[in-house]
Each structure stands twice: as structure tokens, then as C-alpha cells.
A and B are shown apart, each in its own frame.
Chain A
């Protein structure tokens, strides 16, 4: 495969949820189908063979459509670092979840060329009963590392996490900080072509947090293609080549990190 095509192309990405009176219902899911089948079986058949578009096919179900993200388009060249700026709940995490295929978009599409690694949340695949070492193997495999790759980088991961002393102790005996540090270490040692990074992953005390940010910086400068979500505007300006601003689910600005951060801060009071 050649490098003349962009590493990431997103076109019109959107994700909607059906917000019901008291529960979140996926407008296209089985639940809606079963509800429908109980009230009016005839239309379920037409629904099944028809186009699956989450429009208001179910007016009987109370609630409304909520777009968590809509009409987001951008492209990213090889080795570029894109910073994503926005308030809490603006849709940044949804965008990362779509690109890492945790959930699928309602509309639009995206292509990612190369192996994709996510540094989104630390230690989520950990199991309390397993030791630190066992959890590194588990977590590494789930994040997409090969077994040989994990074993090769085991010492590096343990060293970075600073939990050497307890590495063969069940994780349930760890402090919260230790779990997060170990979780970050595993994610930080992923070696993929494209990295999706959420800065909230930088955790722990000031000193470890600094090392996390440094690690993210070195990942970003290593020639990988990176999507970087951050609330730390100085880090973001330092790391990113370009930036986009997301506000209430829409992409409102693309530009240099400096310009985008400035625009974002102008609205900081509104959050």
C-alpha cells in the first residue's frame, strides 16, 4: 500500500441515540423491533426488509433523536498529529469510539489505513483477581498486541508503571493510582501505525502525569498518525500539527492548533 492516500479520511460521520422517556433505546435495535412486533406485527416485516435508517419510524415510542455527533469530515496525512478540542460532552469521545470501532456510526463513513491502536481508558480490561503481570498479557492482547510482542515489551511496561514490587500480586490489592499507572503503561507500549489518544489517560500524581504526557509526546513525534484529544491546551498546541474544534456534536473549526485553541477558549465560559 502506498502513502499517497491519507491515513485517515472521515466523511460526514454522525452518531445518533434515541433518548427515551426513561431509557436510552437504540432506534434500530432489537428492543424497538420487539416493541413494534407486539403492537403492530405487519410493519415489522416491511421494516426488516426496508432501509435501516433511524428516522422516526417509531412515533409510538416516547423520546427523541439526539445526535451525539454529526457531519464530521476531515482527513489526516501519514505522520500527522490532529488535536481534537471541545468541551465535555461535545462529542470528542464519541468520535474516538467511532474511529476505534467500539460503536458504529449512524451515518457517514471513515477509512483508517494501517493498524489502529487506542489509548482511551486505562486498565479497563484488568481483572482484580489476576496479578499485574497476568493483566498486562490480558490487556495487551485485547488492545491488539501479539503474545510475543507483549512478552518482549513486558519489562519495559513494568518499569514504566513503577509497580515492579507488586507485579505478581493480584491487582485487587493495588491502589487506584497503581492500577491506572499499569493500565497506561500497557496502552503506551502499543506499536501501531495509527494511535487514538485521550489525554484523560494521563493519570496519577504530578510526576507520573508528566511522564505520561512525555510518553504521548514521543508517540506523537515518532512519525505515527495520531488523533489526540486533550483538555491541556499547552500540550495540545505543542504536540499537534493541526486541530479541529467540536462543539455540540458538530465540527465547527479546522485550523492551526493555536487558532483552534484560541477560538475554543473564547467560549470557555459557556461550558
Chain B
């Protein structure tokens, strides 16, 4: 069927289309625009509106004001919370990316060699991913429990080693939280990396082999450059995901001891649901949105640009 015949059969063709024979995209886009607008855009607009008020969950009409921005952004604890968020996010993203890549390489390599256990490895990692954050936090809380009957410390004692203050030492607790988040999120990175590895043209490896490249050289000069877009997209996704993580932390440490593990998302949650300050929570949500967008743009700037025709 010719393109002309096809366009003549299309039900909706805009005024311009009658001359150019290009169908109008709007009828097809409208459902998506409506759904996005209703379920995504409207709440975001509401968050912006609340941020310019002094609304609380306790009732009252609330008034439009700029003072909430000034109050929230000058809070003395905010600096520490942003720093804690940075450590948590950076640790989690780097850990998940590296482990996810390593596991994907192992899985692909094992599949190529038809080794036993590949599916078991892949499934085991995916189980951690499907465990809800709250449940994951509780599981790790049991493992990190510092009581004499605590999971990991019992193993350490069994091995003749000193127990670790996994959750009560302010210098250690953040790394315990990062570890639990890496455990949970690695599977996602593994799936993305696995798909990207499978998409690499095998002829590139054949050419590298003909050129005498060893395994390390193949990894650094073929695999990683080919994975670059996937790695960057994955990092955008897991950074946003990690910035929004609070369920696993709330059940593992509650943000404590003190504020040692209180990340921005948890702080926002606490401000709204414990301090009942809806307006302040909205300002913090906007701050999170700006940080997420900023980081996404930074990553995106490293993505390979399509060459203009």
C-alpha cells in the first residue's frame, strides 16, 4: 500500500494535513495528555500552589505567602540533611551501578558458556528487587540488630570477630543503610545492563579478538563504550529512585540516631506527617524536584548526541 493510499484512509487529518498529507498527532496524543495532566501534572501544580501558602494538616484556610520558602530554606538542619542525602544517593548509585554491571557481565558470560546456575543468580537478585521497601528495611533491621541474638553480629561472633555497631554508631549507620539499599536496587541495574549487553553487536567482539584484544581490553574498549548510553540512563533512573527512597530507611532506622540517616525524602515525610506542615513539605518537594532534574540534566549532557543528517 502506498503512503498516499494510507494517508487517505486515516480518519483524522488536520487542515494543514489536507495539503501536506501529514496526519494531525493531537487526537492520538489527547488521551495521554489528559491522563498525564490529571494524574501527574495537576498534583505537581498543587504542590507548587501549597508551597506559596502556610497550609497545615491541622485545618484552617491558609494564606498565600513567601515566608514558607524563607523559613524552610534557612532551617539549620537542612544542610546536614542535604549532605546525608548526598552520601546516601552517591553511595547507593555507585554501588548499584557497579554491582549491577558486574552481575550482568557474569550472567551474560555464564549464558554464553551454558553454565549451570545463571537463572538462579538472576532470579535471586530479582527477589530482592521485588521485596517492598518496608519489608526490606525490616529484614535488614533483623540482620543489623545489635542484640546478642542479632543476625550479622551473631555470625561475626561465631567467626571470632568483634560485633559491629551497625545502627547505633553515627559513623557506621549510613553505610549500613547504603548497603541495604544497594542490596535492594542492584537487580534493577543488572536488568538494564543485561539488556544493554545483549544488544551489543557480536561482530565488535569478533573484531577485537582478531585484533588480539584480551578480556580487560575488550571490557574497556568495546563493552563499556557501547554501554555508555545505558549506564547514563540507568544512573538517571536510580538516582531519582534513590532520592525518593524513604520507606526502607523509615523501617530500618527511622532517620536516626538523631538525624544521622534522615534523607531529604524522609525529612519531607516527617515535616508533613509528624509536623503537619503541608506548606513546608511542599517546598521540600520542590527542592527534591529541582535536585532530581538538575542531576538528570547533568547525566543527560554526557549522553552521546545524535549526529545531524
Do A and B make up one complex? no
Residues of B within 8 A of A (CB): none
